[in-house]
Structure 1
Amino acid sequence: MVTEDAVRPGSARHHGCLPARGCSWGNWKEEACLEEERLRDFMQKRERGELLMQKINRLNDNLLKKVQLSVSKDGFVCFGDTVMLLSPGKEPSVQRDVEARGELTLAVNLEEVSIYSALALHPPCALSAVTTASPVGRNTFCVLSVDGESVGEPVKFGQKFGLGTTGGFSDPMLYLASDHKSFMRFAKKSYLQQVFLTDELSYLTCWQANFLDPQLRLEYEGFPVPANSKLIITHCHTNRSLAVPRNFWTRSYFGREYEVICHTYLDSHRVEEDKNYWVIVTGNPGDEGGTMLDRPEPQPGGTGKNEFHEEMKNVKIPDYN
C-alpha cells in the first residue's frame, strides 16, 4: 500500500519514477511488440509457402498424388506406359512376418528434411519398397526406350529399357540406376549393390526383363513382356537383378520401408528366389479404375463363388421317397 510519505515532495513518485496508483505493472510493451513480430513472421511465411499446412498440402499434391496407370490393350508392357513395380508377397511363416511378406512397391524415398521444402526431385535420390499398393506419385514409373523404339511398341524379353519417375512433381525426370559396389558406394543396410535415381541417361540406367523360368529363358527372348506377370528385372551393366531382401528396413517420414538393392539371390538349383520376383502392374480397363490387382478374378461360367452358393440355397431338391 502506498503511504503518504511516498508522494511527498522529492520522493520517487513525485518525480515520476514510479507509476501512479491504478497503473498496471508488467512488460506489456514487450509482449505487444513480440505479438506484432509473430504476426509479421506468419504473414511472410504464408507468402513464401513455408507454413506447415502449406507444406503438407504440397506433399499431398506431389508425392502422394493419385496417378492413373496405363491400360494395356494387348496384355503387354509397352514403351511410354506408366506402371508400378510390385514385389509379390508370399504366405508368412509367422504372424509377425505379415507385413514383410506382403506385396511391396518400388517408391521414391526422400529424406524428411527435403520432403517439405523440395519443389522437385534432386539427384541422387534413394529408393525403397513400401506397402502402398495404390498408384501415387512416388511409386509410379514410366517405361522408357533407350534404343530409339517408338512409344507404344511392346517391350521384349532381353531388350534394354529405362525406368523414369518425377515422384509426382512436374519435372525433372530421374532414372532408375545402379552401379558396382565400392568402398564409397553401397547400400546402407545390407552393404550390397545400391539402387538410386539419377538425372543422366547412361549405361547405368539400362535394364532388361527376363523370363521367370531359367530353362525357358532363351526360348522366350525376343517375345513381348506380358504385363501383370512375374518376371526378373536385371541391370544390364552389372548383370545383377533388382531385389527386395525384406530383412533390411529403415524408418522414413512415411513409416517403415524396406531396402531395395541389386543382387541376384539363387537357391540350390541356381534359380532366382522370390526376392528377385517383380510384377509390372498396369491400369484396370474397367470403369472402376485402379490397377489390375484390384480386378476380380474371373469365375467359370461368369458366376462368382458367392453367387453360386446363393443360387444353390434357393434350389429345392424334390423328395422321391
Structure 2
Amino acid sequence: MSVRSFCPSVRLGNWNEDVALEEDVLKDFLEKKDRGELLTQKTSNLKKNILKKTELSIPKDGFLHFGDVVMLLNPENSEQSLSNTSPTYGNYGLSVNPNESALYSKTHLEAPCGVSGSRNLEPTVRNAFIITSVDGSDVGEPVHYGQNFALRSTEGFTSHLYLTSDQKTFLKSSKKSYLQEVSLTDQLSYQNCWQFIYLDPQLRLENEGFPVPANTKLLIVHSKTNQCLAVLRKHVLWTLFGKECEVTAHTFLNGHKAEENENHWIVVTGNPSDGMSSMFERPAPSDHVH
C-alpha cells in the first residue's frame, strides 16, 4: 500500500517559472486579441473583405462592354449533370485565391496572387472582374470576338490585379497539373491580354469581329500563348476557402478538334430584377409557367 509523502498543495520543481510562463502566454494572447492579430481574427478579416457582396453590370443591349463588372463561370457538362455524385460536380467560377501571406495585409492583396475555380457563385469581390481595354477602346464600347482585353479585379481590397499567364517553364508551371500557370499581377503587359473566341469552331471565322453577347458559352484565349483558360476539376487545391479546382491556360481538344468543357466559359452579368444576383441564377421563363 502506497503512502503519499506530500499534500496536494505542495509545489514541485520550477513551479514559479511555470506559473509566470502561463501568465505571460495569457497576457500575450490577450494583447494580440486586442490588436486583432490572432490568426482567427486575421482569417475572419480577410474573408470579410474578399467575400463582400458586389454588383455585376447589367448591359442594356445584351452584349459585353469595356468596363463591365462580370463573373467568369465554367459550367458543368452534360455528363456531370447526369451524375452529380462526383465531387467536382457543379459550376465553377474564376476566383481570387490568396495565400496565407494575405492574412497579414490589412488594406489590399499583394501580387503575385493565385486564382482557382470556386463553387461559390454569389457575386463578391473575390469572383468579380472588370473587362478592361488595352487598345484604347473607351469604357462602354462593346467587346468584339478576337479583340484583346484584360481582366482586372475590382477596386478596393483586391487592388487592381490583372489576370496573367505566360509560357510554362521547368521552374514555372501550375502546381498540380504542371501546365501553363494562371495568376494575378499588378503589372500591365501583353501577358495580361486575352480574347473572347466564338465557341463553335465551324462558325468561328464568321463571328470574329462581332460584339460578344453576355451569358453565352465561349472561349477565353490567352493572346500571347494561344492557350484557352481552363478549370481542371480533377486537380483539387486546398485554399483558405476550402477545396477548389486548379485554373490553368491549356487547350483541351476532343476527337473533332473542338475545345472540351474545361475550356468553356460563360461571362455572367447582373440580374436586372435583383442587383445583388446574377443572370446565371435567374430562373428560365419556363420555370414560371404552371
> Would you call these one fold, judging by a TM-score over 0.5?
yes
CA-CA distance at 1:34 after TM superposition = 4.7
- Whether the 8 Å CA contact 1:121–1:169 is kept in 2: the answer is no
**Would the alpha carbon gap of residues 52 and 124 (structure 1) be closer, same or farther in structure 2, given more than 3 Å must change?**
closer
Q: Sequence identity of aligned pairs in percent?
A: 49
Q: C-alpha deviations, 1:72-118, integer Å up to 9, x for none?
A: 21111111111110001124264532x4131000111122x324223
Give a deviation string over 1:229-248, Cα, whole Å, max 9, x none. Answer: 10000000001111113211
Q: Is this contact kept in 1: 2:71–2:268, CA < 8 A? A: yes
Asked if residue 63 in structure 1 is aligned to residue 50 in structure 2, the reply is yes
Query: How many pairs were matched up?
Result: 278
Q: Residue 213 of structure 1 aligns to which amino acid in structure 2?
A: D
User: What residue is the counterpart of 1:295 in the other structure?
Assistant: 282
Could you tell me the TM-score, scaled by structure 1's length? 0.79
Distance (whole Å) between structure 2 residues aligned to residue 255 and residue 57 of structure 1: 14
Aligned equivalents of 2:282, 2:85: Cα separation in 1:
28
Aligned equivalents of 2:127 and 2:218: distance in 1? Answer: 18
Q: 2: CA distance between counterparts of 1:215 and 1:188? A: 34
Whole-angstrom CA distance in 1 between matches of 2:228 and 2:266:
13
Root mean square deviation, CA, Å: 2.3
Distance 1:36 1:59, change over 3 A: same
Distance 2:276 2:161 in 1: 27
Relative to its length, the structure with more strand (as a share) is 2
Amino acid at match of 2:255: S
Counterpart pick for 1:190 among 169, 173, 177: 177
Q: CA deviation at 1:39?
A: 5.3
**Residues 154-165 of structure 1 correspond to what in structure 2 (within 5 A)?**
154-165=142-153
Pairwise CA distance, 1:57 = 3.4
TM superposition shift of 1:149: 1.2
Secondary structure, counterpart of 1:84 in structure 2? strand
- Structure number with greater Rg is 1
Counterpart position of 1:96: 85
Q: Secondary structure at the match of 2:267?
A: strand
Alignment partners' CA distance in 1, 2:166 and 2:158: 24
Deviation readout 1:241-286 (Å, 9 max, x if unpaired): 1111321112222221111111111111111111110011111110
**CA 1:96 to 1:253, structure 2 compared with 1: closer, same or farther past 3 Å?**
same
Alignment partners' CA distance in 2, 1:94 and 1:211: 28
- Sort the Cα spacing of 1:241 and 1:160 in 2 relative to 1 into closer, same or farther, 3 A: same
Alpha-carbon shift at residue 68 of structure 1 (Å): 1.4
Pair 1:53–1:194, CA change in 2 (3 A) = closer
Q: Is the partner of 1:75 in helix, strand or coil? A: coil
Does 1:107 pair with 2:91?
A: no
